[in-house]
Amino acid sequence: MLKQTPLNAVHRAAGARMVDFGGWDMPVNYGSQIEEHHAVRNDAGMFDVSHMRVVDLAGAGGRDFLRYALANNVDKLQVPGKALYSCLLAEDGGVIDDLIVYFLREDFFRIVVNAGTADKDIARFRALIAARAPQLTLTPRTDLAMIAVQGPNARAKLWQALPGSEPASAALKPFMGADIGDTFVARTGYTGEDGFEVMLPAARAAALWNALAAAGVRPCGLGARDTLRLEAGMNLYGQDMDEAVGPLESGLAWTVDLASPRDFAGKAALLGRAPARRLAGLLLVDKGGVLRAHQLVHTAQGDGEITSGTFSPTLNQSIALARLPAGVAVGDTVRVAVRDRELKARVVKPPFARNGKVQVA
């Protein structure tokens, strides 16, 4: 039996094409994935991301705990409401998950983790809490739904759909969130566009979704979410990284501060390991197919593999993230095995597209 979000019936009534996404019954599109993609780049679209898990960490010493538990440094969070992207690492440096942590008060942090990894993340946090900070309580918020409203017009349309939300959220800078009553609104997302992620009681999710639709926000499925995040150069857990690789091989060195004296879970393993491979962007130069995950990439320095590939609606060209030998440089031409032929692709630095514009030449 697939798990359902509070918006399941709304998706079905809208004619969504539903798929099994890691045990969740989720919309992949509502007709055309490409039109949904363009709606987000050019106007406003919304995604049901209620399958993602909100986990609240309460109690004294939460910052000290997270300073060790997370690979990125929560001391970057000094203003209440500020958010940070981080990996949760295993002791061997493998990536258990990537997540967003919000600093709300010194005794209250909110963490948003991936759906498929939520259970193992919570088990990992609980083990670390038991060992280091037993005074903390970790509360999975299965009572909350989450809607991402994304696109250049997303904020204005949310203010229209959620009366009273504008005063508290208009001043939010990117990567900042604020409580509005029992609703949490954050200027975050997974598309490379402006917008909000809204966490609210599950019982009110359908009403907000319908109000957003009435305000002209286009319902978008997980298909468009994937092409948008890939254009934006954002990793997908389980595809671009997992427990078998570390953040340094996954384009996430910027989230790991190895130079500071701060100790964190997995740090020792990272220090002992110079990455032989790195994540890079690929732009398909030849015609003849679409770049896809697991295709082999031949380079002058040896072989690599595509971790995520798709057709980019914004570039009208195929793009990919690929794990390549460390010596491969931006601008190099590589050959990708696409079905029965080898196609030329150029190594580029992601993102491919953000804020409605192509970012690579």
Residue closer to other proteins by CB (options 228, 328) is: 228
Alpha carbons 76 and 68: distance in angstroms, whole number: 14
Q: Residue 192: which residues within 8 A CB-CB, separation 6 or more?
A: 228, 229, 231, 232, 233, 234, 351, 353, 354, 355
Q: For strand 357-358 and strand 353-354, is the pairing parallel, antiparallel, or unpaired?
A: antiparallel
Q: How far is the CB of 34 from other proteins (least distance, A)?
A: 4
Which one, of 150, 185, 151, lies nearest residue 170 by Cα? 185
Residue closer to other proteins by CB (options 90, 315) is: 315
**Residues of this chain that bind other proteins (CB under 8 A):** 17, 28-29, 32-34, 223, 227, 288-290, 292, 310-311, 313, 339
Cis peptide before 351 (omega within 30 of 0): yes
Residue closer to other proteins by CB (options 121, 226) is: 226
Alpha carbons 279 and 298: distance in angstroms, whole number: 14
Residue closer to other proteins by CB (options 36, 194) is: 36
- For the CA atoms of the chain, what is the radius of gyration? 20
Residue closer to other proteins by CB (options 42, 210) is: 42
Rounded to 5 degrees, φ, ψ at 157 are: -75, -30
Q: How far is the CB of 335 from other proteins (least distance, A)?
A: 18
Alpha carbons 63 and 68: distance in angstroms, whole number: 9
Residue closer to other proteins by CB (options 262, 339) is: 339
- Distances in Å between the Cα of 28 and the Cα atoms of 14, 24, 155 are 12, 11, 24
Q: How far is the CB of 289 from other proteins (least distance, A)?
A: 6
Q: How far is the CB of 244 from other proteins (least distance, A)?
A: 24
Q: How far is the CB of 35 from other proteins (least distance, A)?
A: 8
Q: How far is the CB of 228 from other proteins (least distance, A)?
A: 11
Tokens found for residue 199: 């966490």
Q: To 10 degrees, the CA torsion angle through 238, 242, 247, 252? A: 0
Alpha carbons 358 and 234: distance in angstroms, whole number: 15
Residue closer to other proteins by CB (options 74, 338) is: 338
Q: How far is the CB of 32 from other proteins (least distance, A)?
A: 6
Q: How far is the CB of 9 from other proteins (least distance, A)?
A: 21
Q: How far is the CB of 16 from other proteins (least distance, A)?
A: 12
Residue closer to other proteins by CB (options 78, 316) is: 316
- Distances in Å between the Cα of 324 and the Cα atoms of 95, 182, 249, 271, 272 are 18, 45, 9, 21, 20
Q: How far is the CB of 280 from other proteins (least distance, A)?
A: 22
Residue closer to other proteins by CB (options 38, 63) is: 38
Residue closer to other proteins by CB (options 31, 140) is: 31
